[in-house]
Structure 1
Amino acid sequence: MTRVAVTRVLPGQPDEVFDLVADVRHHSRWIPLTWGSFPTDASGHPLAPGPLPRGARFTMFSHPGIVDRMEVVGLERPTAGSPGADERHRLVLRKAGPLLLGTAGIDVEPVDHASSLVTWWEEVYLAGPLPARFTAPLLAVPLGLMLRLALHRVAREVDAG
């Protein structure tokens, strides 16, 4: 599978940076012409800020008519105080069609006491008659551009406070 990944250093501790970038409800601010439909609690209220819980399903919509259904299949945070523990925060999403299949995710890890390394990655392909080995490379350039733009916008937003 072709992995497209973009990495950027952002100011802030990993917990707070992860809470921002892994909350998919913010992604419409950073990805042009995109909006989403997200799960709510039993009362119909939005879920708490931060990454959606494992098992949550949501849909992102983009012009012109792109529907991207996803499910949170991985949500990892470091265990505080565990010696030798992985310091990486990770969100993993399963792409469930109808156009895109595969996985995507966001990893955040500390760089120093004041900044974090964010890697936004996608391993996706087109659903349909052509095999993934043909369609995944075709998506690499537009996905790379989208991820670069998104992380650029995140950085601009964080810098603006």
Structure 2
Amino acid sequence: MVRPDAALVTSGYVACMSTMALGRFISDYFTHRWGPARMLQISSALIAGGLLTAILLPYLGPAIVGFLLVGFGIASVTPLAYSAAGRAGSVSPGVALALVSTIGYFGFLLGPPLIGMIAEVFDLRISFALVAVMGVAIGVLAAGIVVKRPGVAVPAVAPVTL
């Protein structure tokens, strides 16, 4: 017999994926309103804040809210990365998109086992805390790399379609 709380274990994943899907539809609006750098910084705060909520308040309700925030946070990161790669001036857009895709697939393939290994050695909360730190890194990098610098033209973000 399945315990009632065991049936709810997937709720965090469903919450995250649902808000990520919804966020993909609305993130262009906010990106055009605030710009890509600010959007990445907001996404960073949502990712880190959501994971920290799930870590610091390890009960079903707050954890689901935390993963809802994570879903909204990660929704715009991938489209913005592809958009930035397509505008890269140092290499052709095709090569830049291939590089971003390759890095993304490595993250997709290596991320879950690494998180699992860290959780096995330490704790699941520690592994989520490290992912939260990576979320903060997105915001820090966005502030230093994507932000318009004097003398460097940063083209507008092209709309992302699904």
Give the structure with the higher percent strand. Answer: 1
Same fold? TM cut 0.5: no
Give TM-score, length-normalised by structure 1: 0.27
- Highest Rg: 1 or 2? 2
Output the TM-score relative to the length of structure 2.
Answer: 0.27
